[in-house]
Every structure is written in C-alpha cells, then in structure tokens.
Chain A
Amino acid sequence: MEDLPEPLLAEIIKTITRISDLNSLSLVSKRLYKVEGDERGIICVGCGLNPATEALSSLCSRFPNLWKVEINYSGWSSDQGNQLDNKGLHVLSSHCPSLTDLTLSFCSYIDDSGLGYLANCKKLMALRLNSASAISSRGLSSVAIGCKSLSTLHLTDCMNVRSMETVLAKQEFERAGRWYETEPEELELWCPGNTGVEWLEHLGKAGSLVELVVKDCEGLSHYDLLKFGPGFMNLQKFEFDIKNDFYWLSEARDPSYNARYPHKYDGICCENMKDLRLAKMITQPEIGLRFLLRTCKALEKLSLDYVIGLDESEMIALLQNCSNLRSISLKLMPLRCGFDFRTPLTDDSLKALSLFCPMLQVVELTFACCSSLYPTEIGFTQEGIVKLIQSCPLRAVKLNSASIFYDEGMKAISSAQFLERLELVNCKRITDAGIAFITRAPCLTSLTLHKCKNVSNEGMAELARSQKLEFLTVKGCRGISEEAVQGAAKSVYYSAEVEIPYVIKEM
C-alpha cells in the first residue's frame, strides 16, 4: 500500500465522497493526508470555524485545489465566536486559485470591501449570496466588473441591494399611507448618477451570465431588472420573486419616476431562456418583466406565480412559440372582471398547451383566494383540465384549491397513460370515490393528499387493496387517521398538521 503511486492513491480517494470518511483517511498517514488534501475540492464551513480567518487560511493551505466553497452561518450566535469577515474573503481570493463556485449564507460581517476581493478570483463562475445583509450595490459592482467569468448569480434576501428608484417609490407609498407628517427617512448618500443597479447594467452588457436569480430582495422591483437589457439574450435560467410585503409597492409606482429613468424594452430578447419563473408582480398598467414572455422560444420550464396582468392572447402566443415546454406551473388569483372576480386564463390556454406543447410532462395549477361558493371565479373548467391531462403525456399533476375538480374528474384522468405522480392540495370536492377511481391509473406510483378534508379512511383502504402505490403522503387531512395509511403504499408519510403555505394578502 505504501508503494502505490500517488496518481493511483488519488484515483482511489476520488471514489470516496463522504466528508467523515475523507477526514478519517487523512489521519492514517502523512502521505494519505497529503494526497487527500490535494484532492479535496468542495468544502462547507461556518459556525465552529474558530478563529475564523486563521482557520480558513489553514484550510486553504491544506486544500490547495478547492474549487467550491460554501460559508454558511445559519443559526450562528455570537457566543460561537466571531464570524468570518472581509479578511476571510481576502484569504480566499489569494489562497484559493481554483475557486469557481462561492456561496455566502448569513454572513453578516462580509460587506462590499470583502466582495471587492473577489475581483481577484479570475476563475469565479458562480456566486450565491443568501441573506448577505451587509452587501449593497457597490459590492456587486466590483464583482460585476472584476469577475469576467461569472455565469451564475443568485441573490436571496439581500436587503441592502437597493435601487434608488425603488427606495424612493417605497417612501412615497409609505408617506401616502400616513396621515401624520414625519421626517423623511435618512437616505443613504447617493452619488450623482448612482442608480443602485449599475452592477446589473454592467452584467447585462457583458453578457456572460447564464443563470440569474433574484429573490426576496426588498430593495429591487421587477422594473429594475429590466436594466439587465441585452443580458437576457444569453440567460438560460431566470427567476424573480419578491417578499410578500413588497407586493403592493409596484402598484404604488409613481409614473413620474418612470419618466426619469425610461425603461427600455428594446433589445430585451429571451430566445435562449429555458427556465423562467416570475412571482408576485403587478404588471399592469406597465408591463415590466412580463415583457419577457413575448420573446421566449426555447422554454422548458415555466412558473408564473401570481403575475397580475397575465393576458390570455399573450399566453397563447407564448405557448405557440415554446414547443419544448416540459413543465408549467400557474398560480392564479381572481381579479375583478366587471362585476365578478375571475382568474385571468380560460380553457383556451389549456387547449393551447395540449396543442402546441407535445413534450409537456408536469402541470401544476393553483387557484388562490377563489371562493368555492362561486366556481366561476376559476377561469378553467373541470372539462378543460381533464382534456389537458388526457391529451398530453403528463407524468406529474398538482392541483391546489381546485374546487371545480370533482370525483368525475378523477375518473376521467384515471385513463392517463403516463401519469405517475398526483398531488391534491385543498381539493375539497374529492372524496373516497375519487380515490377509488384514480387507483386505476396504469402508471400511478405516487399520491399526495394535503388538506383534502373529504377523503376518509375508506379511501386509504381502497389504496391498500389495490397495492398500487410506491409513495403516499397525507398531510392535514382530518378524515384520515395515521393507522389507516399504514399499508396503503410501500412508503408512507403522515402528518396531522396542515403546512401553512405562502399566504396571499387578499386584494
């Protein structure tokens, strides 16, 4: 063993993936320690790294070929010692020459100067910032300018990355809501011409990004993302989602601000986009990011979650262009339509899906805040949904709060040739008869029932008799007991509690 050549040892070590095993291996002999150290490429550190900077330096010299680093301080408290700060990023940038992928989560002491060091990481391709409360647009600008290989950028809950436009709009909104006069909030000193989205414009022009995710950044609105402009051409994955309390902000937008920073829709083209998710935005009267739907051709996965302003003809035109679509998720809420309320799309959109998207495998439909007393609040009909499931080779279907979907619907879809997974959330019309019908679906292996109050133990007995399911998940269904689900499938998960979903504030 001692005479095995090093490349051979390295090959053996590459087959070991568990950190605990690699750690044991490193204690066997100096030679194994060295070879293992050279091979280690991925590391995840955080609480326990003490003293932080020295420990990181030590790790970087022991593992000279690290390419993927995650620093995660989730759950940290000050009695665990100091967090890594900017010096830590200096260490990474100078001692980690192969660094390609960096994730910083809950690093409260790394600010813009720290991020500035990343400009020296010539190979950096992916940067993910989660809850990086000390990072602002300045830090992102240094990364945008310095990291020329950057292809993936994720910003989640970065509250200090703010555009001036959005900050001012929010202030206006809050001031309008108060009946008393107060001092205007202290604004950060903006340099002239400092819009707070220079980093986005720079990345857009550079065109190196392939994946961009912006979630829960309360200082950015979907209008700000338009500044990415020409960068959309090369994006394959894009996601934009806002925190709930920002939801009303877009509505309060003052058009006079728009005039100062005119939004350019020219040059925005998403012909390479494969994975698109737009969530919680008001796109009326100004279209904002919904504009992206007009230029997509290569979409494979689409999620439109509470996009107010969805237009049916635009939707159908989109589906006509995207024949590669494999997965679609629509979360809809009813909007005023004359004297009634209705969700924006009708069965025509479902027909378009079956007609133009032959590769469709996954469909998820959610109807939030639709009263079950008024079934017309949902723009689709049971027939429309059934026809969609019957005509596309769907493998997975999820229906949430579909009060228009009855046991007969279950009967109709039980002939779906390829259906493997079915999830029903808050579908109060489904009873044990519906469960009995669905057991006839030839390929069904997985069933999830969440808050389906009219399914009882009898339905579970039916499943047990059919011996069909691999996976059964039952959550918050008060008619079903834990004993009843045993044996209903090969693998069962039961919870009496309802999982509280994202709550939409009613309009």
Chain B
Amino acid sequence: FCEICLTNNCDGSAGKIATMIALVSSDNERFEVSEEAASQSQTIRNMIEDGCADGGIPLPNVTSSVLAKVLEYCNKHAATTTPDAASTEAVIGSAGTRAVLGPARHGPVVLRAVPCRAAGRRCPEGCRLDEGQDAGADQATFKIENDFRPEDVEKIRKENAWAFEE
C-alpha cells in the first residue's frame, strides 16, 4: 500500500512528493491523505483553497470508523474523474453508523453520517435528514444549488403558511 498515491498498485509514477492533508474525525483520530485524494470532496477542497487546512481539517460530523470507510472509497475512485452516473454507494460503518456517499460532479461527497435507529435493519438508501433543518442548512450541507428566484421563494413561503399541522 502506497501512502502517497493511496493505492495498492503504485507504480511509483506519482514521483513528486504529494502534499499530505490531515483529516481529523469527531473522535480526534487523524487520517493522513494526499491532497489529491482529499480534494475529491468539494468541501475539503474549498477549505484547502481557503488556506484553512493547516493543522488538519476537522470533520465533527464524521467518526473515525466512517471516515476510514470514506477514505477507502476515495482511494478506489482517486484516479477516476468521471463518476458513475447513478450509482449510490452505501457504506455501513461500525455500531450502526451509516455513511452514505453519493456521486457528485467533483467526486464523492460525504452526505451525512448518522446513527441508524436500529443497527442492522435495512435502512432505505439515502440519508436521514435531521429534523428541524431549514432550507439554508440543507443547501449548505448537501451543496445543493438554490435555483429559485427571490420572488419564487416568497410565493412558496406564502403557500407553505396555508397548510397547517394536522
């Protein structure tokens, strides 16, 4: 296993010393990965570009077991630039924690690692949205583009106010 290009079949061609980035899981475990591998996550890439990566990038949402699995995924797809169109991989971490990864234009994105209520029971593919999130939080977390015009948003908010809880 080559720690530089993060593959098992390194041919030494990645000769230049790759910049290593440290990712810190929620339980304070450090994972050293190459900048290239880490940049497959848009979130992390933004942080690197903004110069926030020194000293390690904290990922408070993600436990070490999940992060390990995610990095495994990143390694597998490190060289690929065209992700599969509709494949969604669900990776189950330990003790009922589930990380769901979806293909994104710029590489895999960790959607959310949430504890499954009933570990071992088959959860639907996809992630459990935390209750009580507002639209902005969803957009930020999932990096979904808000394609609404302001007038649209106003109209929808008004409509939403009509329907009350049963």
Contacts and interface: CB of A to CB of B under 8 A. Distances in A.
Interface of A: 1-5, 8-9, 11-12, 15-16, 18-21, 23-30, 32-33, 42-46, 48-49, 55, 58-59, 62, 70
Given A3-B104, A4-B102, A23 B160 contact: yes
Interface in B76-108: 85-86, 88, 102-105
A11 B124 contact: yes
20 contacts: A1-B109, A1-B143, A2-B144, A3-B102, A3-B103, A12-B129, A18-B165, A20-B132, A23-B160, A26-B160, A27-B153, A27-B160, A28-B138, A29-B145, A44-B163, A45-B163, A48-B161, A48-B162, A55-B162, A59-B163
Contacts of A42: 166
B148 A29 contact: yes
Contacts of B164: 19, 44-46, 48
A45 B147 CA distance: 28
A3 B148 CA distance: 18
Determine the interface band of chain B, counting residues with CB < 8 A from chain A.
35 or more
Interface of B: 85-86, 88, 102-105, 109, 111, 124-129, 131-135, 138-139, 142-148, 153, 156-157, 159-166
B159 A62 contact: yes
Given A21-B133, A42-B166, A45-B164, A33 B156 contact: yes
Contacts of B165: 18-20, 44
A335 to B, nearest CB: 43
Contacts of A46: 164
Contacts of A1: 102, 104, 109, 111, 142-144
Nearest to B141: A1
Nearest to B111: A1
Contacts of B125: 8, 11
Contact of B133 (A3, A8, A24): A24
B121 to A, nearest CB: 13
Instruction: Please name the 7 residue pairs, one residue from A and one from B, whose CB atoms are nearest each other, closest first.
Output: A27-B135, A23-B160, A1-B142, A12-B126, A28-B138, A28-B135, A19-B165
A447 B30 CA distance: 56
B97 to A, nearest CB: 18
B138 A25 contact: yes
Nearest to A63: B163
Most A Cβ at <10 Å: residue of B85, B104, B147, B160:
B160
A55 B156 CA distance: 12
A45 B161 CA distance: 9
